[in-house]
Amino acid sequence: MATIKDVAREAGLSTATVSCTLSGKKNVSHKARIKILAAIEKLNYVPNESARKLRLQTSRDIGILLTSIDDLYHSEIFKGITQVIQEHGYSINIGFSNNQPRLEEKIIDGFLSRNFAGIILISCLANNSAYIRKLLSHGIPVVFVERRPRKKDINFVGISNKKTITFLAEKLSSGGYKNIWLFCGNPGISSESDCVTAFKGWCLKNPVRGRINYTNMTREDAFRVALAEFSAKPRPEAIIATSGNMAQGILEAAKVLGVSLEKSALITFSEETWMDTRYLPQTIHTSRPAFKLGSGAASLLLRNITAEGKTERKETILLDDNILNTGITIPRYDPAKKEKSRKIPRLRMLMLDSSFASGAMEILARKFYNDHGVTLTIEKETQNRLFNRIIEDSEFDKSRYDIYMFDIPWLNFLAQNTCLEDISDFIKANKNYFNSVLKEVLDNCLYQNRYYSIPFAGGAQLMFYRIDLFEDPIISKDYFNIHKTKLRPPRTWPEFNAVSRFFTRRFNPSSPVEFGTSCAGIIAEELCPEIYARIWGFGGRFFSRNNLPQFYSESNVRAFENLTELQNYTPGPILSTTCMDTVRDFYSGKTAMLITYTEYASKIMDAINRNIFGKLDFTFIPGMAPISVGWNLGINIFSKKTEIAYQFFKWLYRKDVNYYLTILDGQSTSIYPFQNNELLKLYPWMQITLDNLKYARKRNPYTKNSIVIPWNKIEDIVYLNTGLMFEGKPVADCLKAIDEAITGLMDVYGHFYRD
C-alpha cells in the first residue's frame, strides 16, 4: 500500500506539503495541490485515519453538489438535506454542475481544498471509476444521491425506479394503452439505467409497442428529441418522462408542432406534494419522497462524520415512490378521431441534406403550418450536387422550387446570373424582423449592395480540445521536456502541428490518445476551408487586389506544407475523411483536438459528457483567421409564391423560432439565442461565437463589376492540386499549376482584370 512518503516522492514535494494538503492545516498552492492529487490518483493512495481526524477537528462545512438549480426534484432533496444539516450546527455550501463533468470536478476540488467535513452529491461522474477513487481517497465522508457509482463500498440513497416504471407500465396496459414511449436520461446514470432496464424487461413480456427516447435530461434536449419523434413517428398513446424538466420539453414540442396530447397520457416522475397541479397541469405526476431522500442522505452523512474512529459502515438506502402504496389515476385510452384533409398552400424548398439544415426545418415545418396554414415541402440534396441542382432548376420558368438553400460563396454567381429574386425592398420594409440578424452574416447576403437572400445558418471555425489532457501535469511536463515551452491550445499553425505530433502515439508512445487531430477533405467544400484558414494564418492570400490568382507565394508554400505534414498526425487519409468522421474521432477519444464548426458542437459536447474519459473546451483556431461559413435562403426568380416566401422569411426571424433552431443544433443567425442565459449555459461555445465572427474572413475575392466564376470550379482546381501534394508532388509546382488553371478559367468566362 502506498504511503505519504511515496506520494511526496511522486509529486516531487515534501511530506510536510502533502500532509498539509490532506489535513488542511496550512494553505498549499494550487500548483502543488494539482501535483499531489495526480500522485494520489496514480498511486491509489488512501490517507490514514489520523489525517482524517485532524481535518474533522477543524471543519463544520458540508458540501452539497446538485446538477441544476432549475430541477424542482433536486430542490426538494436540498430542502431535506438543509433541515437535517443545519439542525446539527453545520454550514452548507452548495454548487451546481449543470451536468458538466469538468464543472463538477472543479466544484468538488473546491470542497476538498477547503477541508469540508463531508459531501453529498448527485454526480454526473458516477461512472468515472478513477474520479470516484480520487474523491474517496481523501477520507472525507461522501454520500451519493440518486446516481449510484459502480463502486460497491459507498454510501448511497436513492429511489427504487425499477418498481416505479413497472408499476406505471402495468397501469397503462390495463387502461388500454399499447404504444408507450419512455423519455429518460443517459443510461450510464444508474437511476436512468434502472428505468430503461425495467421498461425493456416489461415490454418484452407484454404485447405493447415500447419506444425509448434518450436525452441529456434538460428541457431543451427533451424538446429537441420530442420534436424529431413527434414529426417522424405515429403519436404515442402514453409517455413516461423520468423528470419534470423532460416533461416540460415534451409539452413545448407538442405545442410547437400543434400535436394534441389530450388523448395521450403524459406521466412524469415528480416529487411528493399535496398539490397535483402545482406545475405541468397537463401531466400525471408520481410522488417521489424527495424531502425524505434528502434528509436520509444528510442523516447518513452525519453518522459517518461522527464515527469517532470506528469503522464506517457503508449503507444503501432505497425509498419507494409513494404511488406504489397510494396508487395513481390514469384515464382509459380513448383513440382520437382522424382529421379531415383539406387543400392548403404549399411552399417548395431545395435544401442541403444535413441535420442542422433540412433536418431542423423538416421538424419546424409543422410549426409554420400551425402558425400560417402553409405546408413546407422540402427536397434534400448533397453538398457537392446542390449547386448544379439550383442552376438547372432556375433556368426554367416552370421550375420546381420556390426557395433555394445555398452556400454563401455561390451568392455572387447566382445573383449575377438572375437565379435569385432581389429582396432588398422587402428587408428594408421589415427592419423590425431583420434588425436582430447578426451583421456579419447578413453581409453575406449582399451582392453589389443589394440583398438576394437571408442568412439561415452562419458561423466560423472553432477549435475544440480535450482540456483534461492539456491540464494534466504529467502530460504537460512531457511536452515541456520536448519543446521547452508550455503545453497550451495552439495559437499558430506550426504549433498546431507540434501539438498534434505530440499527441500521436506513433511519434509519442506515451500519448493518452492515438492521434493529435483529424482533418476533413473528402470533398472540395470540406478541404478548402482548412486550406484557407492556413493561408490566412501564414499571412498569405489567394487573389491579388486586381483579382489575379496568387496561390504561389512563399507564405502559401508554408501553409500547404503545414497541411500536408498534418497527414502524419491524423487517423486516416485527409482526402478520405468527412467532417462527421472528424467529429466521431474526437468525441470517441481517438484525437486530442478538432477544428470544426459550431453546428457539430452540441453533438460533441453530448458525447463527451456521456463518456468518462474527456472534458471539453473550445477556443479560437490558430492564427485567429477562421473562414466565414454559412448557408442562405433565396427566392427563385420564377417563383409565383413570393409573398408566401416573404411570410416564411419573417417567421424564421421570430425570437421563439430562433430559440428552437439553436436547440435543434441549428446555426441561428439571430442575436436572440446569444442573449439567453439558459441557452448560453447549455451551449457554452456560443459565448465566443460572436467574437469569433469578428475575425472571420470571406473566401470570395471578387470586387465590384467583375465577372463571377462559379466558386466551386475554383475550389475544384485547388482540391485537385492539393491532392497531388499529398501524393508527393512539390508544393511550389502545384501552387503554380493552381494559378495557371484559374487564369485559364478566367479567360473562359471572359473575366476582366488589370495587370
Question: For a pLDDT cut of 70, what percent of the chain falls above it?
Answer: 90
The pLDDT score that the predictor gives to residue 55 is 45
SS3 content of the chain, % helix, strand, coil (to 5): 50, 15, 35
Degrees (nearest 5) of the Cα angle 729, 732, 737? 80
64: its cell numbers? 452539497
Residue 143 lies in a domain: no
pLDDT single digits (tens) 524-564: 989 999 999 999 999 999 888 777 889 999 999 999 999 99
pLDDT single digits (tens) 377-394: 999 999 889 999 999 998
β-sheet bridge partners, residue 96: 66
The pLDDT score that the predictor gives to residue 634 is 96
Same domain, 280 and 354: no
How far, in Å, CA of 22 to CA of 547, rounded?
A: 66
Q: Which of 503-512, 604-613, 656-665 has the lowest mean pLDDT?
A: 604-613
**Which residues contact residue 405 at a Cβ distance below 8 angstroms, ignoring those fewer than 6 apart?**
349, 350, 351, 352, 357, 358, 386, 456, 631, 632, 633
How far, in Å, CA of 462 to CA of 598, rounded?
A: 7
DSSP conformation class of 626: P
* Average pLDDT score over residue span 156-182: 94
The pLDDT score that the predictor gives to residue 50 is 39
The pLDDT score that the predictor gives to residue 702 is 58
Into how many domains does the chain fold? 3
The pLDDT score that the predictor gives to residue 578 is 94
- What's the distance, CA 564 to chain centroid? 30
Final residue before a domain boundary, out of 683, 708, 725: 683
Closest by CA to 749, choosing from 710, 694, 715, is: 710
* Average pLDDT score over residue span 298-320: 82
The pLDDT score that the predictor gives to residue 712 is 87
Q: Is 722 helix (H, G, I), strand (E, B) or coil?
A: helix
In this structure, what CATH number is given to the domain that contains residue 386? Answer: 3.40.190.10
* 37 or 285, greater pLDDT: 285
Q: Which of 298-312, 348-362, 486-500, 696-710 has the lowest mean pLDDT?
A: 696-710
Which residue is listed with cell 520536448?
Answer: 482
In order of 79, 119, 226, 382, 635, the CA distances from 57 in angstroms are 27, 16, 52, 67, 74
Same domain, 352 and 426: yes
β-sheet bridge partners, residue 118: 62
Q: Is 142 helix (H, G, I), strand (E, B) or coil?
A: strand
Residue 438 lies in a domain: yes
The pLDDT score that the predictor gives to residue 131 is 83
How far, in Å, CA of 609 to CA of 591, rounded?
A: 16
End-to-end CA distance of the chain: 78
Handedness of CA 434, 440, 442, 447 (dihedral sign): positive
β-sheet bridge partners, residue 616: 466
pLDDT single digits (tens) 460-483: 899 999 998 999 999 999 999 999
Same domain, 282 and 365: no
Degrees (nearest 5) of the Cα angle 239, 287, 247? 35
The pLDDT score that the predictor gives to residue 57 is 46
* Average pLDDT score over residue span 47-71: 66
* Average pLDDT score over residue span 578-595: 94
Same domain, 279 and 350: no
How far, in Å, CA of 738 to CA of 723, rounded?
A: 12
Residue 588 lies in a domain: no
Residue 547 lies in a domain: no
**Which residues contact residue 658 at a Cβ distance below 8 angstroms, ignoring those fewer than 6 apart?**
436, 652, 668, 670, 672, 673
How far, in Å, CA of 138 to CA of 124, rounded?
A: 20
pLDDT single digits (tens) 171-206: 999 989 999 999 999 888 899 999 999 999 999 999
Residue 231 lies in a domain: yes
Same domain, 166 and 282: yes
Q: Which of 202-211, 293-302, 660-669 has the lowest mean pLDDT?
A: 660-669
Residue 656 lies in a domain: yes
Q: Which helix (H) or strand (E) holds 444?
A: none
- What's the distance, CA 496 to chain centroid? 23
pLDDT single digits (tens) 241-286: 999 889 999 999 998 888 888 888 999 998 887 555 455 667 888 9
Cα dihedral 440→442→444→446 (10° resolution)? -130
How far, in Å, CA of 17 to CA of 217, rounded?
A: 42
For residue 342, name the pLDDT band (cuts at 50, 70, 90). low
For residue 603, name the pLDDT band (cuts at 50, 70, 90). confident
Q: Is 161 helix (H, G, I), strand (E, B) or coil?
A: helix
The pLDDT score that the predictor gives to residue 49 is 44
In order of 179, 434, 581, the CA distances from 571 in angstroms are 43, 43, 10
Same domain, 282 and 350: no
Same domain, 191 and 278: yes
Same domain, 258 and 354: no
For residue 458, report the phi and psi dihedrals to the nearest 5 degrees: -160, 150
Final residue before a domain boundary, out of 664, 683, 702: 683
How far, in Å, CA of 740 to CA of 734, rounded?
A: 10
CA-only gyration radius of the chain, Å: 29
pLDDT single digits (tens) 413-462: 999 899 999 999 999 999 888 888 988 889 999 998 999 999 998 888 99
Same domain, 359 and 280: no
- HEC profile for 504-529? CCCCCCCCCCCECCCCCCCCHHHHHH
Q: What is the mean pLDDT of the chain?
A: 86
Give the domain range for residue 183: 161-286
- HEC profile for 82-119? HHHHHHCCCEEEEEECCCCHHHHHHHHHHHHHCCCCEE
Same domain, 280 and 168: yes
pLDDT single digits (tens) 70-82: 777 888 899 999 9
Amino acid, single-letter form, for residue 494: P
Is the confidence at residue 567, as pLDDT, over 50? yes
Is the confidence at residue 485, as pLDDT, over 70? yes
Is the confidence at residue 372, as pLDDT, over 50? yes
For residue 753, name the pLDDT band (cuts at 50, 70, 90). low
In this structure, what CATH number is given to the domain that contains residue 29? Answer: 1.10.260.40
For residue 210, name the pLDDT band (cuts at 50, 70, 90). very high
Q: Is 596 helix (H, G, I), strand (E, B) or coil?
A: strand
Is the confidence at residue 608, as pLDDT, over 80? no
Is the confidence at residue 497, as pLDDT, over 60? yes
Residue 305 lies in a domain: no
The pLDDT score that the predictor gives to residue 225 is 92
Residue 665 lies in a domain: yes
pTM given for the model: 0.74
Closest by CA to 70, choosing from 684, 677, 674, is: 677
